[in-house]
Structure 1
Amino acid sequence: MDWRNSVRLFLLPFHIVLCVLRSAARLLLPARPRDLRGDTVLITGGGRGIGRELAREFSRQGAKKVIIWGRTEKCLKETAEEIRQRGTECHYFVCDVGNREEVYQQAKSVREKVGDVTILVNNAAVVHGRSLMDSDDDALLKSQHINTLGQFWTTKAFLPRMLELQNGHIVCINSVLALSAIPGAIDYCTSKASSFAFMESLTLGLLDCPGVNTTTVLPFHTNTEMFQGMRVRFPNIFPPLKPETVARKTVEAVQKNHALLLLPWTMHLLVILKSVLPPAALEEIHRFSGSYTCMNTFKGRT
C-alpha cells in the first residue's frame, strides 16, 4: 500500500463523520421547499390509483402543468378533465412505458406540444401475481419491461434536457417489497428490487449535477386495485396505506428534496432488522411482510 492510499484510509473515518454531520444538519436546518409553480410534471401510470392521486396532489400544490401517461385512454381522459377543473393545465398521452420506441416517440410529442418536463414520476407498474413455476414467460417479461426497463426509457428521454437546464427531479414510486420480498409476486418483487438499484445508481451518478435530484418512494401495502390480493400478517397494526397519503408524502419529499422515503416510517425498522438479525431469524421478517394472491392475470397502475 503506497502512502496515498494510507492517507486515504486514515482520513476515511473523518469523511464518514463529516457526512453524518452534514445529514444531521440538513434534518435540523431543512432547505426551503421547492416552489412547484414553474414545474411541468409528467406521471406515468397517471390514469388511476396512486398516479391519479399524484396528479391531484401536484395540482393542489400549484404545479404549472401536469402530464399523465398510461395505456387506458378512458382513465387518462377522466383524470385529465378533473385536473383541468382544478385550474391546472393538464395533458394526457397514451403510452406503454414498456415499449421503448413508444416512450421515445411520445416524449418527443410532449416536448413539441407541452414543453420541457422538469419533474418525472415513474409510477407505472403491473403485478402478475404467480409463483415462478405457474408464471407465463411472456407475463414475466411484461412486468420486467414495465416495472424496470420502462424507467430506463423514460429517464433517458427526459433527463438530458433537465441536465441542460440544471433543473429537474426524477421520482420513482417503488415498493417496500424491493427490500423484503413476499411469495406470490415474484415478478413484482424482482422488478422492484431492480428498480431500486437503478434509482440508487442514478442518484449517485447525479451527485455532481447541480439542480437535478431524485426521490425513491418505498410504500408498504397500499389500498389500490393493484394489491387487492395482498395479505398482511398484522392488518390491524399495519393497515394498508391510502393512495392519497402516498401521493401527499411523495410530493412533500420532492419539495424537500428527500432522496429516500419509506412509508410508513416503521418500515425503517424492517430494513434495520433485516440487516442485523441472524439468518435463522429472518423467517419471521419475511412472514411479517405478507403474501400475494392475484385473482386476475394482470393488475397495475398503467
Structure 2
Amino acid sequence: MNLLLEVLWLLVTTIYFCLEAFVKLFAPVKRKSVRGETVLVTGAGHGIGRLTAYEFAKRQSKLVLWDINKHGIEETAEECRKLGAEAYAFVVDCSKREKIYSAAEKVKSQVGDVSILVNNAGIVVAADLMATEDHEITKIFEVNILAHFWTTKEFLPAMMSINHGHIVTVASACGLSTLPFLVSYCSSKFAAVGFHKTLTQELAALGKDGIKTSCLCPVIVNTGFVKNPSQRLLPLLEPEHVANTLMEGILTNQKMIIVPPILNVLLMLERLLPERAIAGVSRLFEVKFDVAVGCKDKGKQVGTLSIVISYTKSNS
C-alpha cells in the first residue's frame, strides 16, 4: 500500500478507535470468571499479595501461594480455605532463580499447570544511592524484576499450549515516574513495567490472544514498606482498595491499572509542562517518608541516619 494511503488509513482507524474507547466508557464492562482457575500469587504472605489471594478465593479459584515467610503464607492459605477455596502454600525465596525453578516443578507435579500468574513479590530500600549497599541493589532487582522472568518462563509455556491464561505484573507508580531516595526501587519498577509492555506485544505478535496481561501501578500503599509515609493532597492507598482494584482489572482484562486514576493526568503533565512547572506541581503533593542518607568512604558507610525527606521532583 502506498505510504500516503497507509497514513490516511491510520488516521481514520485512530479516530474510530478513539470513538470506540469513548463509547466503552459508558457501556457495561463484561467480567470473566476465574472460578476453577489455578492462580499463583508470589509475595502472598502479607499486604496486597495476601488480599489479592483472598479475592481469588472468594471466586473459587485454586490458589498456589508463595512467600519467603512461612508463618505468613500459611495464614493466608488457611484463610483462603475458610473462604471455600483450595489453597497450597509454598515457602519460596523469590530472589533465588534456582528456588523459583524448584518450587515451580513442585507446583506443576503436585497441583498442576498455572493459568493465572500474579507476580507480586517486591522489596524496597529507602535510601540515597550511596547509602544503599551493593547486595541491597542486587536483591531489589532479583525480587522486583528478575523473578518475573523466572516465574513466567516456568508457567507461560502451558498457557501458550492452550492459548489461555493471564500474567499479572505488580509494579508501581514508581515505574512510571520517579522519587528521590528510591533509585534502585524505581529502576526495578520501570523494568517491571517494561517487562509487562514488551511481553504483551510479544504475545500479540505470536498470535496468543487468549493470554491476557495486566500491570498494576499504585502510588504509595500503606503496607509498611516505607516508614512514616504521607502525602499532602492524596490519601495513602489502603491495601484493601488496591487489591480490589487489581481484581477488577484482572476480571476485565485491563492492561494498565493505575491507582488512583488521576495519576494518568499527572503523568501527562509531566511530559508536557516545563521542568520548573512540574517542580511546582510536585511541591503541592509533598510526599514524605523516612530515608537513610549517608555516604561511603573506602567501603565503609558513615554518617547514616533516618530522617524525613520532603522531596521536590525534577525532570533533570
Q: Paired residue for 2:214? A: 215
The separation in 2 between residues aligned to 1:81 and 1:100, in whole angstroms, is 27
Of 232, 237, 240, 1:241 maps to 237
| Amino acid in the other structure paired with 2:277 | A
Q: CA deviation at 1:210?
A: 2.4
Q: Is residue 230 from structure 1 mapped to residue 229 from structure 2 by the alignment?
A: yes
**What is the DSSP-based 3-state SS (H/G/I as helix, E as strand, rest coil) of the residue aligned with 1:225?**
coil
**What is the DSSP-based 3-state SS (H/G/I as helix, E as strand, rest coil) of the residue aligned with 1:121?**
strand
**What is the DSSP-based 3-state SS (H/G/I as helix, E as strand, rest coil) of the residue aligned with 1:145?**
helix
| Amino acid in the other structure paired with 1:215 | S
Q: Paired residue for 1:111? A: 108
| Amino acid in the other structure paired with 2:95 | G
Q: CA deviation at 1:25?
A: 4.5
Of 119, 122, 140, 1:143 maps to 140
**Residues 180/116 of structure 1: CA separation in 2 closer, same or farther (3 Å cut):** same
Assess if the C-alpha contact under 8 Å between 2:101 and 2:151 holds in 1: yes
Q: CA deviation at 1:68?
A: 1.0
**Residues 281/5 of structure 1: CA separation in 2 closer, same or farther (3 Å cut):** same
**Residues 13/198 of structure 1: CA separation in 2 closer, same or farther (3 Å cut):** same
**What is the DSSP-based 3-state SS (H/G/I as helix, E as strand, rest coil) of the residue aligned with 1:241?**
coil
The separation in 2 between residues aligned to 1:76 and 1:102, in whole angstroms, is 16
**What is the DSSP-based 3-state SS (H/G/I as helix, E as strand, rest coil) of the residue aligned with 2:179?**
coil
Q: CA deviation at 1:37?
A: 0.8
The separation in 1 between residues aligned to 2:291 and 2:275, in whole angstroms, is 29
Q: Paired residue for 2:13? A: 15
**Residues 275/294 of structure 1: CA separation in 2 closer, same or farther (3 Å cut):** same
Q: Paired residue for 1:187? A: 184
The separation in 2 between residues aligned to 1:169 and 1:82, in whole angstroms, is 24
The separation in 1 between residues aligned to 2:250 and 2:103, in whole angstroms, is 24
Q: Paired residue for 1:283? A: 279
Q: CA deviation at 1:70?
A: 1.1
| Amino acid in the other structure paired with 1:34 | K
Q: Is residue 129 from structure 1 mapped to residue 90 from structure 2 by the alignment?
A: no
The separation in 2 between residues aligned to 1:215 and 1:279, in whole angstroms, is 31
Q: CA deviation at 1:291?
A: 4.3
Mapping for residues 163-202 of structure 1, pairs under 5 Å = 163-202=160-199
Assess if the C-alpha contact under 8 Å between 1:181 and 1:286 holds in 2: no
Q: CA deviation at 1:128?
A: 1.2
Q: Paired residue for 1:261? A: 257
Q: Is residue 94 from structure 1 mapped to residue 124 from structure 2 by the alignment?
A: no
| Amino acid in the other structure paired with 1:191 | S
Q: Paired residue for 2:60? A: 63
**Residues 45/27 of structure 1: CA separation in 2 closer, same or farther (3 Å cut):** same
- Compute the TM-score of the two structures, normalised by the length of structure 1: 0.90
Q: Paired residue for 1:82? A: 79
Assess if the C-alpha contact under 8 Å between 2:126 and 2:226 holds in 1: no
Assess if the C-alpha contact under 8 Å between 2:57 and 2:85 holds in 1: yes
Deviation string, structure 1 residues 36-91 (Cα, Å, up to 9, x no partner): 1121111110000111111111112x132111111111111111111112211101
Number of equivalenced pairs: 290
Q: Which runs of 5+ in 1 are unaligned?
A: 298-302
**Residues 240/25 of structure 1: CA separation in 2 closer, same or farther (3 Å cut):** same
Moved more, 63-72 or 278-287: 278-287
Moved more, 3-12 or 177-186: 3-12
The separation in 1 between residues aligned to 2:219 and 2:44, in whole angstroms, is 20
Assess if the C-alpha contact under 8 Å between 1:215 and 1:260 holds in 2: yes
- Compute the TM-score of the two structures, normalised by the length of structure 2: 0.86
**What is the DSSP-based 3-state SS (H/G/I as helix, E as strand, rest coil) of the residue aligned with 2:129?**
coil
Assess if the C-alpha contact under 8 Å between 2:42 and 2:67 holds in 1: yes
Of 270, 273, 281, 2:269 maps to 273
Q: CA deviation at 1:10?
A: 3.1
Assess if the C-alpha contact under 8 Å between 1:63 and 1:88 holds in 2: yes
CA RMSD of aligned residues (A): 1.9
| Amino acid in the other structure paired with 1:189 | C
Assess if the C-alpha contact under 8 Å between 1:183 and 1:291 holds in 2: no
The separation in 2 between residues aligned to 1:191 and 1:49, in whole angstroms, is 19
**What is the DSSP-based 3-state SS (H/G/I as helix, E as strand, rest coil) of the residue aligned with 1:98?**
coil
The separation in 2 between residues aligned to 1:169 and 1:211, in whole angstroms, is 8
| Amino acid in the other structure paired with 2:175 | A
The separation in 1 between residues aligned to 2:227 and 2:60, in whole angstroms, is 31
**Percent of aligned positions with the same letter in both sequences?**
35
Q: Paired residue for 1:34? A: 32
Assess if the C-alpha contact under 8 Å between 1:184 and 1:292 holds in 2: no
Assess if the C-alpha contact under 8 Å between 2:128 and 2:291 holds in 1: no
Assess if the C-alpha contact under 8 Å between 2:230 and 2:236 holds in 1: no
Deviation string, structure 1 residues 192-229 (Cα, Å, up to 9, x no partner): 11111111111222233121111111111111121334
